[in-house]
Each structure stands twice: as C-alpha cells, then as structure tokens.
C-alpha cells in the first residue's frame, strides 16, 4: 500500500504521460456544442416538476455560481434561441434528433478519453453499430442523470433556504454555507457517476467516491481561481464580444482536466492497493509497444 502523497505523485505523472491536455481540448470542443442541448433537456425535464420559468431561473443561478454570469448567459441564450426558432414539423423532428446527438456527443468523447487513460477499448469484434448504440444510450442516460441531479439540487437548495430562512433569518453566512454544501454534494455525486459509468472498466464504489472527493475539492478550489484569473485578466479586452465565450472555453477546459486527473487518481489509488484493471465484457485491455521506433497499440 502506498501513501497519499505517492498516489498524487503517480496520478500527476500519468496526467502528463497520457497527454490529458489533448483529451481536455477534445472534450471541450464537443462540450461547446453540447451544453445548449443539455440545458434544453434539463430545463424541459425539470420544468415538468418546477415550472419552466422556475427551472430556467434556478438553472441560471446554478450555472452562474459554477462558471460566472457571462459564461452561463451564453449557454442560456443559445438554448433559448434554439427553442424560439419556429420551423416545420420535419425540421423540428430533425432538430430534436440533432439536439440529442449533440447532447450525447460530449459524453461519448468523454468515454473514449477515459478509456484511453484506463488503457482499454471496445472489443474489435464488437466495435460496430450495436456498441455505438449502447454508448449513445449510456450517454443519453448521463444527460438524464444531469437533469435529475439538477432537479435534486434545486429542490434541496429551496428546502434548505426555506428552512434556514425560517430559523436562521439573521445569519446570511449560514444560508450561503448550506447552499454551498448542497451544490458541492451534487457535484460529488455527479463526478462519482461519471467515474463509475463512463469508462469500460469495473470499479468499486469506494474507489470511485475517493477519486470523486479529490476531484470535487480540486474543482471547487479551481473554479474560484479561474474566476479570479478571468476577473483580473485582459481576456475581455483582447477578444471583445467573444471574451465571454473564451471564458466559457477556459472553464470547460479546466473542468475536463480536473475530471481526467480524478480518473488518473482513481487508477493510481487502485494500483496502490494492488488492484488490476478489469475491463467490462464489451472491452479489452490494451498496451502500447514500440515497433520500429513508433508506438503501436496491442490488445491483451
């Protein structure tokens, strides 16, 4: 068994060895086109229970807390523009299909990147339409999970605010603390589900939640540092009206990098406890070997 410091060191070393920044850039690209569809689906589902206006306003508050007002407004504006467009029935059906594809694309890329970090891939004989369909269904399930967790977060925030407002009306710091605890818990659960469901690797829940806790701490600290950086940087003046979009990309890029570091940490944690990588039934483990000076992936 290795110490926590060695696990962090091993995760950090693998973070650079696996070229995680490239994976973060790829997921950020897909996320740019997926955030609006995911937002539409989340507002639609949550609107059934809370009302569309209430769900939209609460979502805006949550996104503003996560990534800042300017970046969150870009997502909401894109979602509103997509919903406001009046088209024919066929165009609407096509738009819904494209929206679902867009909403699941980011999770598909996320799964591919996590599989590369874990050193697994889909079995060659199963790499067809069936596997693609299964992966899309898993991705769509994650979209629904995001909507459900958002609903839970909104309800939890409302209940805690009402409870604290009644008993601790003169303590705004406590209200902010309860809101922070509620939102952080939802983020922790979301990270845990991503680590558990997305990669084609068998994992224990205790390992998953350990990595999710580390990722949540880094994510929480990092989002404030990013907000501080963007608040004192010249991004807005350099890019003008596109400054908010650049800020959004920076936030998504950082979030992806932290998520992949969490993946590396879970792998280092498992290796530190003597646990090997066990692919799921539809995947196999791969290793990289050098052939004539060039790396070549080999299935094991």
Confidence (pLDDT) at 197:
86
The neighbour count for residue 40, using CB atoms within 10 Å, is 19
Confidence (pLDDT) at 235:
62
Segments of the chain scoring below 70 in pLDDT:
1-2, 46, 50, 55, 58-59, 62-63, 65-68, 70-72, 75, 78-100, 102-103, 124-172, 175, 230-237, 239-243, 290-300
Q: How many helices (H) and strands (E) does the chain have?
A: 10, 3
Confidence (pLDDT) at 236:
58
CB-based contact 207:267 (threshold 8 Å): no
Residues 6+ apart with CB under 8 A from 152: 186
Q: Please tell me whether residue 168 adopts helix, strand or coil conformation.
A: coil
Q: Structure tokens of 130?
A: 């069936």
DSSP letter (8 states) at residue 279: B
Nearest to 145 by CA among 114, 104, 174, 175: 104
Confidence (pLDDT) at 95:
60
Confidence (pLDDT) at 155:
62
Half-sphere exposure of 82 (CA within 13 A, CB side): 25
The neighbour count for residue 272, using CB atoms within 10 Å, is 16
- The pTM of the full predicted model, rounded to 2 decimals, is 0.78
Confidence (pLDDT) at 227:
72
CB-based contact 62:46 (threshold 8 Å): no
Residue given tokens 């819904």 in the structure block: 96
Confidence (pLDDT) at 263:
94
Q: For residues 260 and 202, what is the distance between their CA atoms, to the nearest angstrom?
A: 17
Give the tens place of pLDDT for each residue, 256-300.
899 999 999 999 999 888 888 888 887 888 877 766 666 555 555
């Amino acid at each position: 068994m290795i110490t926590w410091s060695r696990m962090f060191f091993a995760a950090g070393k693998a973070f650079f060895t696996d070229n995680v920044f490239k994976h973060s850039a790829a997921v950020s690209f897909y996320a740019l086109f997926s955030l609006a569809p995911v937002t539409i689906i989340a507002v639609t589902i949550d609107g059934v229970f809370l009302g569309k206006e209430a769900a939209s306003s609460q979502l805006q508050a949550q996104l503003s807390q996560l990534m800042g007002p300017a970046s969150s407004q870009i997502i909401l504006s894109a979602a509103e523009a997509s919903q406001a467009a009046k088209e024919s029935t066929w165009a609407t059906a096509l738009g819904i299909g494209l929206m679902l594809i867009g909403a699941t694309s980011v999770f598909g890329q996320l799964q591919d990147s996590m599989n590369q970090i874990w050193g697994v891939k889909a079995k060659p004989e199963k790499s067809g339409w069936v596997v693609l369909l299964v992966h899309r269904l898993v991705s769509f399930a994650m979209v629904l999970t995001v909507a459900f967790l958002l609903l839970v977060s909104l309800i939890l925030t409302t209940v805690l605010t009402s409870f604290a407002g009644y008993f601790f009306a003169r303590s705004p710091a406590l209200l902010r603390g309860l809101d922070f605890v509620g939102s952080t818990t939802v983020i922790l659960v979301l990270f845990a589900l991503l680590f558990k469901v997305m990669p084609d690797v068998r994992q224990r829940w205790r390992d998953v939640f350990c990595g999710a806790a580390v990722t949540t701490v880094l994510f929480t600290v990092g989002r404030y540092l990013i907000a501080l950086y963007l608040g004192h940087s010249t991004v807005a003046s350099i890019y003008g009206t596109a400054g908010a979009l650049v800020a959004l990309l920076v936030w998504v890029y950082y979030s992806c990098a932290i998520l992949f570091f969490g993946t590396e940490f879970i792998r280092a944690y498992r290796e530190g406890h003597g646990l090997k990588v066990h692919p799921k039934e539809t995947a196999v483990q791969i290793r990289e070997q050098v052939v004539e000076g060039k790396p070549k992936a080999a299935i094991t």
